[in-house]
Amino acid sequence: MVIKSAEFVVSNSDVAKCPKSSLPEYAFIGRSNVGKSSLINMLTGRKSLAKTSGKPGKTQLINHFLINKNWHLVDLPGYGYAKVSKRDKKTFQKFITQYFSHREQLVTAFVLVDIRHKPQPIDLDFMQWLGENGIPFSIIFTKADKLKPKAIERHVSEYQNVMLEFWEEMPNYFVTSSSNGMGKDDVLRYVEGLNGEI
């Protein structure tokens, strides 16, 4: 898939105000500071479509972007950021939960995980919640440029071992790097394939 156009549509914290169109949606979510905005910019080939920040917790709303006029990329708030107040965390959690529960346009979620770290309970719990609620998802490992190829294999393998303690099979996954474009074609090909089935 070639991305010819990517435009910002709307930001909000009220799922009822999300676009009314029936276009397919792909939601990107992960822990704060996992490199979500950089990944979105890399996938779309736009330097500042999603706002990047050295300060975790920058995305605090549901952001819709219209891609190639025929599908929405949805940038969701990061979860698990310590410096956000408990009240804000509850609010985020509530509208993230509502988004996944109510958006019939959602085709699949992409859960972003920093490949350098051991599996984190917060990510595993979130994926468990998606599974229990019947929401399809893939894992996107980010920041792969920070590791050598053998280390990438080892970290993915460790992740698989942990996932297989809870899951019958390892969910679909991609290994990416926003710095060098690794995984871009794989993710976009996957989205294109899903769009073709709708």
Assess whether pLDDT exceeds 80 at residue 89: no
Over residues 47-64, the pLDDT tens digits come to 888 876 555 445 578 899
Residue 130 has a pLDDT of 93
Give the whole-number percent of the chain exceeding pLDDT 90.
73
Residue 80 has a pLDDT of 64
Return the closest-CA partner of residue 172 out of 152, 146, 191. 191
Of residues 95 and 128, the one with the higher pLDDT is: 128
Domain spans, the chain: 6-197
Topology at the third CATH level for domain 6-197: Rossmann fold (3.40.50)
Cα torsion 136, 4, 12, 50: sign: positive
Q: Model confidence at 94, in pLDDT bands (50, 70, 90)?
A: confident
Assess whether pLDDT exceeds 80 at residue 88: no
Of residues 197 and 78, the one with the higher pLDDT is: 197
Task: Compute how many other C-beta atoms are within 10 angstroms of the C-beta atom of residue 186.
Answer: 14
Mean pLDDT, the chain, rounded, equals 89
Residues in contact with 121: Cβ distance below 8 Å, sequence separation at least 6, in sequence order: none
